[in-house]
């Protein structure tokens, strides 16, 4: 199963804020033996958000969407999700209860009377209007939930806030609650070596031969200005540990046969 990301917000694309969700998603999935397959970045344009979500719902993948689920004029994600699914928005009863609970908490913390029918409190309920049929995602930070929906194509999209302090625990809850059966800790490995002075074109036949022989991915990461190694290529293999061990041995033998100048070896799992 593929895991994808949709990261929404003009502030990311303008450079006003740096995205932290991609790196964290890689970390959270990697700790469970899973990987991010792709990430889409989109600004606060409803047409683009809708089109991106339509692809996600049609993908058959698990997709995490970050941002835009608030109730201010520049938050469009909930509305775009409904449009992408061809459904109406409706106030989710569990979300309503949680938002009312949060409003009562705030009033109590501030020493003020709890007034659920006050105009600003009624406006906050918009954060609980989701596409019909949505399921909630609990928010341990402030109780305002996210939501998830499945499209006709089998894609399951989980919508969480853009705030990392809320979003990341919610993503962890989704993974641990719904996808623990896919966890494969220790089932992935990566081994590589620093190669000095070689051209990728010279190494390509060796890479292709290894991929023909073993069920691994071979990768080549060239660098021209590395602060420690200078101009070099990191050449390696990744996949199931047993296959990686065999393939890497053949890779190294092939590099020795090519009289390549080799540097440090790197192992990741």
Task: Show the low-confidence residues of the chain (pLDDT under 70).
Answer: 186
Q: What is the 3-state secondary structure (H, E, C) of 96-156?
A: HHHHHHHHHHHHHHHCCCCCCCCHHHHHHHHHHEEECCCEEECCCCCCCCEEEEECCCCCE
Please state, in angstroms and rounded to a whole number, the distance separating the CA atoms of residues 114 and 253. 73
CB atoms within 10 A of CB 120: 8
At residue 187, the pLDDT reads 76
Copy the structure tokens of residue 84: 């992408």
**What element of type H or E holds 90?**
strand 89-91
**What element of type H or E holds 159?**
strand 156-160
The full set of domain ranges for the chain reads 3-182, 189-268
At residue 67, the pLDDT reads 97
CATH class of 3-182: alpha beta
Q: What are phi and psi of 59, to 5 degrees?
A: -80, -25
As to burial, measured by CB atoms within 10 angstroms (0-12 exposed, 13-18 middle, 19+ buried), residue 227 is exposed
Please state, in angstroms and rounded to a whole number, the distance separating the CA atoms of residues 46 and 196. 48
Hey, is 223 helix, strand or coil? strand
At residue 268, the pLDDT reads 81
At residue 184, the pLDDT reads 82
Please state, in angstroms and rounded to a whole number, the distance separating the CA atoms of residues 116 and 125. 10
At residue 82, the pLDDT reads 98
At residue 22, the pLDDT reads 98
CATH architecture of 189-268: 2-Layer Sandwich (3.30)
Please state, in angstroms and rounded to a whole number, the distance separating the CA atoms of residues 152 and 150. 7
Burial 208-221 (b: 16+ CB within 10 A, else e): eebeeebebebeee
Name 184's Cβ contacts closer than 8 Å, sequence gap at least 6: 32, 33, 34
């Amino acid at each position: 199963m593929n895991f994808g990301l949709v990261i929404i917000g003009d502030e990311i694309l303008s450079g006003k804020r740096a995205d932290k969700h991609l790196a964290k998603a890689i970390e959270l999935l990697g700790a469970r033996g899973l990987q991010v397959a792709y990430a889409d970045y989109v600004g606060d344009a409803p047409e683009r958000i809708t089109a991106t979500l339509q692809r996600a719902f049609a993908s058959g993948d698990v997709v995490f969407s970050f941002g835009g689920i608030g109730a201010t004029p520049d938050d469009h994600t909930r509305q775009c999700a409904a449009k992408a699914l061809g459904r109406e928005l409706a106030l989710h009863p569990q979300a309503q209860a949680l938002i009312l609970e949060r409003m009562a908490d705030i009033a109590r913390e501030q020493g003020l009377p709890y007034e659920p029918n006050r105009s600003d409190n009624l406006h906050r309920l918009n954060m609980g209007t989701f596409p019909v049929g949505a399921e909630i995602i609990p928010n341990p930070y402030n109780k305002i939930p996210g939501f998830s929906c499945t499209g006709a194509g089998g894609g399951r999209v989980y919508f969480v806030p853009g705030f990392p302090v809320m979003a990341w625990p919610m993503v962890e809850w989704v993974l641990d609650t719904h996808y623990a059966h896919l966890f494969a800790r220790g089932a992935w490995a990566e081994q590589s070596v620093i190669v000095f002075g070689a051209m990728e074109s010279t190494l390509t036949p060796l890479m292709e031969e290894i991929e023909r022989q073993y069920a691994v991915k071979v990768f080549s990461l060239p660098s021209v200005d590395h602060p420690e190694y200078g101009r070099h290529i990191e050449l390696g293999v990744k996949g199931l540990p047993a296959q990686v061990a065999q393939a890497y041995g053949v890779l190294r033998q092939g590099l020795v046969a090519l009289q390549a100048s080799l540097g440090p070896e790197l192992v990741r799992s």
